[in-house]
Structure 1
C-alpha cells in the first residue's frame, strides 16, 4: 500500500484509481484528547468571530491510501472543532489526514466550474469544486460512501442532480501533505456560461448558500493560485492538459 506523503512543502501527487473503498473504523484520537483545552479555546475564538460555525461531527482518515488501482482507507469520527484546530495548528498529528471527495464539474464545452466559498464558511474566499468534509450522513453500515458524498455536495452547493450530469467511474486521488482530494469528474450537459447562470440562480434562492460566486476555468491562465488550493490547481493543470 502506498501511503500518502505528509510533506506539506511537496508538490501535489496525482494517482488515478478505479474505485474508492472506505470504512468507518472508530478509534481514539490521542492528539485531540491531549490538546482539548487548547482546541476549545481556539474554537471559542473562531466562533466569536463567526457565530455561523457549527461544531458538528466529521470524519478524518487515520489509515490507508492507494493500493493498486483502489483507494482504501479507514476513518474515525470527531468534532469539527477538533478537525479545524488540527488544520489551523499546522497538522501536528501526521497520522491523521483530511480525505474528502470533490465533484470536478466540467461543462459540455470543456470548461471547469468551481465555487467561491461564502463569507460565513470556515474557508471564506477559497475557490473549490463542490466538496465537504465527510460526516455521519455519508456512513452506510460501516462504509463511508464518498460517491454519495460527491452527489450530495454537488446538489447542496449547486442544485445539480444526477438528472443534469454524468459521474465518471474512476477517480483522481490528489495528495498534498495531510490533504487528500478524491476528485470525481462530473460531466454536465450544458455549456459553461449557461451552467454558471443556472447555478447562480439556484444560489439566489438558497437562504444561506455555501457559495458566493462561480468561477469558470477554461485554461491554465484562469487559475487563481491565491484562492485555489495547490491540489485543485494541480488537478486542473493535468485535466486541461489532457483535454
Structure 2
C-alpha cells in the first residue's frame, strides 16, 4: 500500500452502532479460522482470541462518519487479514497523543504482540465492552481505555479540550480505518517520554517496549505503518503545531 492509497479526512463527528447479527462468514468458516489461528499460535504462543467488533458498513455524510459493527473474534480478524480482507473493515480508535509542546508520542509494539515491532499510537479494535446504551459503539471510550492500559495515562493527565472538542480524523487505508482522536497531555515531550517509560517498566507484561517522539518528518520511522505516516504528514501540513496545542490549554 502506498501513500496514494491512503486518505486522511477531518471529521465533524462519528456515530457507530452494533448490528444484532454476528459476522456470518466467520461463522461459516469457523473450522478454517481455528486451524489458521492455531498455526499462528505456534509461531507466537502469546496470541489470544477474544470477542471484538468489525465494521460491516459505513457512510460519510457532511463530515460525519456512521456505520455498523458486527460481533466476531480476534482469530477471525487475523484470518480476515491473511485471506484478502473479505467483507469487513477493521475500524479502530487511536489516541493521537501529543505533548503540550506539540510533539506526537508513539510506542513500539512488544515482541509478543500480533504487531510486534510496529510503531503506533495507543489503539485497539473495539470489543463488547465498548457497546454502550442503545447499542452505540463508544470509540472515544475505547481510545481512553487503550491509552490507560498501554501507557498508564488517564483523563487527569490530559489538558481539557478546546471549544469544539479535540481534532478528529479518519484515515482510510484500504480495509483499515483508523479513527484518530487527538489528545494532549499536560507534560512537554521529554518529560512525558520519561513518565511513559517509567510506566512501561512497572508493567508485568507491557504491550509496548519503547516510546518515540515525532516533531517533524525527520522523526518518521520505517516501522510506522503507512497510515500513521500519512496522518502525521497531514497534521503537520495542516499547521497543527504549537498553536493548536496552546489553544487546548484553556478550559472549555
- Do both share a fold (TM > 0.5)? yes
Query: Is 1:184 equivalent to 2:188 in the alignment?
Result: no
Residue aligning to 2:7: 13
Q: Is the 8 A contact 2:166 2:183 kept in 1?
A: no
Contact 1:26/1:75 (8 A) holds in 2:
no
Distance in 1 (CA, whole Å) between partners of 2:193 and 2:59 is 34
Unaligned runs of at least 5 residues, structure 1 = 1-7
Please list, as runs of the form range in 1=range in 2, the aligned pairs for 1:1-243 lying within 5 A after superposition.
10-91=4-85, 93=86, 95-141=87-133, 142-166=135-159, 167=161, 168-224=165-221, 226-241=222-237, 242=239, 243=241
Whole-Å separation in 2 of the counterparts to 1:89 and 1:215: 32
SS in 2 for 1:214: strand
> Which deviates the most, 23-32 or 47-56?
23-32
Residues 162-198 of structure 1: per-residue CA shift (max 9 Å, x gap): 1111354341011010100000011111111110110
Following the alignment from structure 2 to structure 1, what is the Cα–Cα distance between the partners of residues 151 and 59?
Answer: 29
**Which range moved further: 168-177 or 22-31?**
22-31
Distance (whole Å) between structure 1 residues aligned to residue 177 and residue 48 of structure 2: 23
State the shift of 1:89 in Å: 2.0
Segments of 5+ residues of structure 2 without an aligned counterpart are 242-252
Distance 1:174 1:21 in 2: 16
RMSD between superposed Cα atoms in Å: 1.5
Say whether the 8 Å CA contact 1:19–1:170 is kept in structure 2: no
Equivalent residue pairs, number: 233
Structure with the higher helix share, 1 or 2: 2
SS in 1 for 2:5: coil
TM-score computed with the length of structure 1 as normaliser = 0.91
Distance apart, 1:111 and its partner CA? 0.9
Find the aligned partners of 2:220 and 2:59 in 1 and give their Cα distance.
28
Inter-partner Cα distance in structure 2 for 1:56 and 1:96: 18
Q: How far apart, in 2, do the equivalents of 1:65 and 1:169 lie?
A: 22
Residue 31 of structure 1 deviates from its aligned partner by 2.8
